[in-house]
Chain A
Amino acid sequence: MKTIFLVDDSATILLSISGVLTKAGYAVEKAPSALDALKKFQTGVKVDLLITDLNMPGMNGIDFIKEVRKLPAYRFLPILFLTTESQQSKKAEAKAAGASGWIVKPASAEELLNTIKLVIR
């Protein structure tokens, strides 16, 4: 089973996305902040895909992606970030930080799963 790691400061988003993913047969790990997530990554959790919000209090998503990319085990980990149409400029910044792609919020379950299929089997 593929494990997807979700990071978002919004409990609503965490709950809704993890619901869709669990139903689709993925194992889901969640963290409410980048720092929490990073701690888990530093202990070497098994992750097949990371989905993170960009705009979070504490460490923001871009720095978080950079930190994850620095960890040898996750150099090639697919990373998607959550964004909105109004944040076009963030895309380039996040890509430069090492993100693989993005999910535009709010996404339907189908859009979400399709995007995930783009990056993991």
Chain B
Amino acid sequence: MDEITSVFVTESREQIAALESALLQLENSPRDDDTLNAIFRSAHTIKGGAGVIECGYIVAFTHVVENLLDRLREHAINADADLIALLLGCADHIGNLLGVLESGAAGPDANLAADGDALLARLQRDWLSDEGSRAGLPSVAPVQLEASGGGAVESDCWHISVRFGADVLRNGMDPLSFLRYLGSIGHIVHLETLADAMPEAAEMDPETCYLGFEISFASGADKAAIERVFDFVRDECTLNILPPHSRLSDYIALINTLPEDSMRLGEILVRIGALTQGELEDGLRQQTAVPADEVESATAPAAAPQPIGEILVERKVVQSELVDAAIARQKQVTEKKAAEARLIRIQADKLDRLIDLVGELVIAGASVNLLAGRTGVGELIEATSLTGRLVESIRDAALQLRMVQIGETFNRFHRVVRDTSREMGKEIELSVSGGDTELDKSMVEKIGDPLMHLVRNAMDHGLELPAVREASGKPARGRLELNAFHDSGSIVIEVADDGAGLNRERILAKAVERGLVQPGQSLSDAEVYNLIFEPGFSTAEKVTNISGRGVGMDVVRRNIQGLRGSVDVSSEPGKGSRFAIRLPLTLAIIDGFLVGVGNAAYVIPLDSVVECIELGVDGSVRDYVNLRGEVLPLVRLRQLFGMAGEPPGRQNVVVVQYAGNKSGIVVDQLMGEFQTVIKPLGNLFRNIRGIGGSTILGSGEVALILDVQALVQRCASREAQRAEGADAGRALLAAAAT
């Protein structure tokens, strides 16, 4: 996909999101002009962009949608629920078409095309059926003279007569540029400048244009092409174009129409070769001989330009009112939307590069600090520590650049909640707060799915049907809240409902049934509630298409843990539940735990570290140890990474945990925790299992960051292999205990 197409796709997806949220707003205020304009603008921008990249199928579809939106904007039709639903369907379809464009296919497949046609058919039939009568917007009739009697003149040149409007210069136009452009589509045979309108020097305004031209023009271009040259000034200038061999009467009519003295004009026409002297005299004589009413009819088309001045004035009056009203309105809008517009779009790669460089700077700064400390020169240490502080500020500011507001993600749920609640026959009101809370862009992208799961879950299992709610004394309309806020270095996203709450007994019963807890085990409420995140746990009595498809809350928890976050639930029977997702602010910097194996240093993400223990004698021969009665499988880094050299006499085990599974990582040295910037591995090394990234230590050494998830899973699968065929778990435990 070329750059412009990918820009188009990204931009259009944003426009669709904006379109959707505006359509939803429209449900509450169907005649709000701002909303209607925003909707129209989104569709218009998509169509415009599609036109630029020549994507015909998007243009064709969006065009019809835009027509409808235009009518909506003019209040020719009203937005009712049906229409909004239809337009939402159209927005989805445009999204699908973008998918087609992204996939590089030549066009939508038969199914998608049929969907599009069905939508268009509905639009046409239900909303645009009287479109035909509206076709052909009123346009300004071009000022032109038609041949209408009398003999033809001999000249085979076009005759162009133009009087520029007074404001031409003030509108940024140079009359000369028109003449120059005219010269590019033909040959200006003769040109006469008329400065008759020029006042006395004292009254002359240098910013006003007083000029007119009579031009004899030889060209193969047609009349439309010549008119087009003057398109920009046509409304404010007097333009007459006579084709070659026009009738003499047309010239006479022209002379009569123009403000200058007839005799003088006649002479000019003769001089530029439009007319011969004989033709001119002939024409003038004819005119005086013909009865007045016939002159009238002969010059009728020519008379048309006469009222133009009046029309102009009229039109200008109308416009100025229009414009004033528009200004007042736009001022409000401008103030409201100013914040929205103060954005620049940059490629994420550039940001990543910047953050990468800042990471380098942090590392280089650390080594400078180290060296300065060694010199013992007070001034140098002071200077470097100041630099260090600045570097930290730069790092924070750079990371801030990647931060985006979560509001956009939240807004997607308005649509989901609306559609789903209808489907389920529930009344649900979504309230969103903290949409301006910022978090790392990559995190925003990945949090969407878990959040969607929680929202659907709350709607399906949490909130009750209206009748049930009323019976228990609650308002029929359920309330779903999405909230985000910052809390001590992390961001918390909450999904809360005022539904039935979690059923402690049912969860416990299910957990016992699944063997997750022992019968009779005493657990706190929080412990019971958090059981719903265990793998394979689902209490939904029937599988609906909204949630409860077996991929349960354990997937949600795993996804969130993948972002180095956590999820918790609190609940009160009859009052509702609250899920709180806690995420680190950024993925680019982690708190790490530094360990050493041989000469190499490795970093283990601190939040996966449970404890550190010394490797006992039993661990030096087996691949597992007994950790307080539990089997702890070991990963020997020295072995795993094939490192040369003998292990030291005393080895340590870092106990790590991932998704409930624990493993012990055997290392030589424990070197303590520190904050580090994660640097991705190059393409060559990306597939190495067990390594998630790298970082550079203050000393300049490279340390690899361990991928705990991969290591733990490696252990788990190794264990599963061993367990094959025998009740190996018990055997292992027995072996470990000996």
Q: Which A residues fall within an 8 A CB radius of B?
A: 9-13, 15-16, 19, 32-36, 55-60, 62-63, 66, 75-79, 84, 86, 88-89, 92-93, 95-102, 105-106, 117-121
Known: A55-B41, A58-B341, A117-B184. A95 touches B235 (CB 8 A): yes
Known: A10-B45, A10-B49, A58-B334. A119 touches B169 (CB 8 A): no
Q: Write out the residue numbers on chain B whose beta carbons fall within 8 Å of the beta carbon of A98.
A: 170-172
B326 and A12: CB pair below 8 A?
no
Q: Write out the residue numbers on chain A whose beta carbons fall within 8 Å of the beta carbon of B169.
A: 76
Known: A12-B7, A12-B52, A96-B319. A33 touches B178 (CB 8 A): no
Known: A63-B330, A99-B171, A118-B177. A12 touches B8 (CB 8 A): yes
A17: min CB distance to chain B, Å: 8
A6: min CB distance to chain B, Å: 13
Give the CA-CA distance A102 to B207 in the complex, in Å: 22
Q: Can you offer 6 A-B residue contacts whose CB atoms are under 8 A?
A: A12-B11, A13-B48, A57-B38, A76-B169, A93-B319, A119-B173
B1-32 vs A, Cβ < 8 Å mask (1 yes, 0 no): 00110011011000000000000000000000
B173 and A63: CB pair below 8 A?
no
Segment touching A, from B342-350, B587-595, B653-661? B342-350
A93 and B322: CB pair below 8 A?
yes
- Which 7 A-B pairs rank lowest in CB-CB distance, beginning with the nearest? A58-B341, A101-B232, A12-B49, A106-B51, A33-B341, A100-B172, A78-B172
Closest residue on chain A to residue B51 by CB atoms: A106
Closest residue on chain A to residue B40 by CB atoms: A55
Asked whether any CB of chain A lies closer than 8 Å to the CB of B75, the reply is no
17 more CB-based (< 8 A) A-B contacts, given A9-B341, A10-B45 = A11-B10, A11-B11, A16-B53, A55-B41, A56-B41, A57-B337, A59-B338, A75-B170, A78-B173, A84-B48, A92-B319, A93-B326, A95-B171, A96-B319, A96-B320, A100-B232, A119-B174
Give the CA-CA distance A16 to B8 in the complex, in Å: 10
Contact among B41, B231, B330 for A59, CB-based, below 8 A: B330
Give the CA-CA distance A79 to B94 in the complex, in Å: 33
B133: min CB distance to chain A, Å: 16
Residues facing A in B328-365 (CB within 8 A) are 330, 333-334, 337-338, 340-345
Q: Write out the residue numbers on chain A whose beta carbons fall within 8 Å of the beta carbon of B10.
A: 11
A92 and B139: CB pair below 8 A?
no
B232 and A102: CB pair below 8 A?
yes
B337: min CB distance to chain A, Å: 5
A32 and B170: CB pair below 8 A?
no
A88 and B139: CB pair below 8 A?
yes
Give the CA-CA distance A89 to B316 in the complex, in Å: 13
A119 and B172: CB pair below 8 A?
yes
Q: Write out the residue numbers on chain A whose beta carbons fall within 8 Å of the beta carbon of B53.
A: 12, 16
Known: A15-B3, A59-B334, A117-B184. A10 touches B11 (CB 8 A): yes
Give the CA-CA distance A100 to B330 in the complex, in Å: 22
Give the CA-CA distance A82 to B153 in the complex, in Å: 41
Q: Write out the residue numbers on chain A whose beta carbons fall within 8 Å of the beta carbon of B326.
A: 62-63, 93
B548: min CB distance to chain A, Å: 41
B340 and A58: CB pair below 8 A?
yes
Give the CA-CA distance A11 to B133 in the complex, in Å: 36
A55: min CB distance to chain B, Å: 5
B625-647 vs A, Cβ < 8 Å mask (1 yes, 0 no): 00000000000000000000000
Q: Write out the residue numbers on chain B whose beta carbons fall within 8 Å of the beta carbon of A84.
A: 44, 48
Give the CA-CA distance A113 to B314 in the complex, in Å: 34
Known: A13-B52, A98-B171. A32 touches B345 (CB 8 A): yes
A59: min CB distance to chain B, Å: 5
Q: Write out the residue numbers on chain A whose beta carbons fall within 8 Å of the beta carbon of B295.
A: none
Closest residue on chain A to residue B173 by CB atoms: A100
Closest residue on chain B to residue A16 by CB atoms: B52
Q: Write out the residue numbers on chain B whose beta carbons fall within 8 Å of the beta carbon of A101.
A: 173, 231-232
Known: A98-B172, A101-B232, A118-B177. A106 touches B341 (CB 8 A): no
Closest residue on chain B to residue A33 by CB atoms: B341
Give the CA-CA distance A93 to B177 in the complex, in Å: 23
Asked whether any CB of chain A lies closer than 8 Å to the CB of B70, the reply is yes
Q: Write out the residue numbers on chain B whose beta carbons fall within 8 Å of the beta carbon of A97.
A: 323
Q: Write out the residue numbers on chain A whose beta carbons fall within 8 Å of the beta carbon of B341.
A: 9, 32-36, 56-59
Asked whether any CB of chain A lies closer than 8 Å to the CB of B284, the reply is no
A105 and B38: CB pair below 8 A?
no
Q: Write out the residue numbers on chain A whose beta carbons fall within 8 Å of the beta carbon of B710.
A: none
B172 and A13: CB pair below 8 A?
no
Q: Write out the residue numbers on chain B whose beta carbons fall within 8 Å of the beta carbon of A99.
A: 171-172
Residues facing A in B524-564 (CB within 8 A) are none
Give the CA-CA distance A97 to B52 in the complex, in Å: 27
Closest residue on chain A to residue B343 by CB atoms: A32
B172 and A88: CB pair below 8 A?
no
Asked whether any CB of chain A lies closer than 8 Å to the CB of B137, the reply is yes
Give the CA-CA distance A84 to B70 in the complex, in Å: 13
